[in-house]
Amino acid sequence: MAMPIAAAAPKILIVGDSLSAGYGIDLRMGWVALLQKRLKEKGYPYQLVNASISGDTSASALSRLPGSLKRHRPEIVIIEIGGNDGLQGLSAEEMEQNIRSMVVQSKQKGAKVVLLGMRLPPNYGPAYTERFFSVYRRVAEKQGASLVPFFLEGVAGKDGLMQADGIHPTVEAQPTLVENVWPALSGLF
C-alpha cells in the first residue's frame, strides 16, 4: 500500500520565534506559508514543520529541539532564533552556545542547517550589537551551516514593512523574507 505523499515528504523544520510564528499577521500570509507555496510551485517535495513560538529565546528553543528532531526527523533545519535574547539583553556568549548546540544536534541527526542571522537596533550600543550579530557568522563558519547574514535585510526600519512595534514585519514584508532565505535554502537541495 502506498503512503500518502505528505507523510512520505521530507521535512524542513523551522525553529524560530515570533518572526517565524507570524506574530501580528495571518499565518497564511507569513513567510513560512509563502515558502511552502514556493517549494510546491518549484516541484520540491518538502513539507515545512513550523515549530516557532513567539517570545522564544535560544535557551527555550534549544530545550525543545531534541523532541522536534525526534518527532519530525527533518532533512533540513532552519534556525531563526536569538532576537529575544538580544532584546532582553541576555548574554551573547550564552546565546552562541545555545545556537551552536542547536546546529550540532541537528547535524548529528543528519539534517542540513540554515541559520538566519539577526541584528539589534543601535540603541543597544555598538559593542553589544556587534557581539550579538557576529554570533551567527561564527557559528555558521565553525559548524558548517548555511547562513543568511541578516534575516530582516530590506525590511528592518522600512516604512510599511514593519508593524507599529518596530520589531515585527508586516504582511507586505513577508515575500522579502522568503527571498532572503531562498538562496541559502535552495542551495541545500
- Cell readout for 51 is 515549530
Q: 124, 118, 127: which is closest to 149 by C-alpha?
A: 118
The catalytically annotated residue of 52, 68, 165, 186 is: 165
Q: Is 56 designated active site?
A: no
Q: Is 38 exposed, middle or buried (0-12, 13-18, 19+ CB in 10 A)?
A: middle
Catalytic residue among 52, 106, 146, 168, which?
A: 168
Give me the catalytic one of 18, 52, 58, 106: 18
In order of 47, 132, 150, the CA distances from 127 in angstroms are 40, 9, 18
CB 151 within 8 A of CB 80: yes
Side-chain half-sphere CA neighbours of 70 within 13 A: 5
User: Is 72 part of the annotated catalytic residue set?
Assistant: no
Residue 19 and residue 174 in contact, taking contact as beta carbons nearer than 8 Å? no
The three cell numbers of residue 44 are 520540491
Per the annotation, the verdict on 159 as an active-site residue is no
Q: How far apart are CA 85 and CA 68, in angstroms?
A: 21
Q: Which residues are catalytic?
A: 18, 165, 168
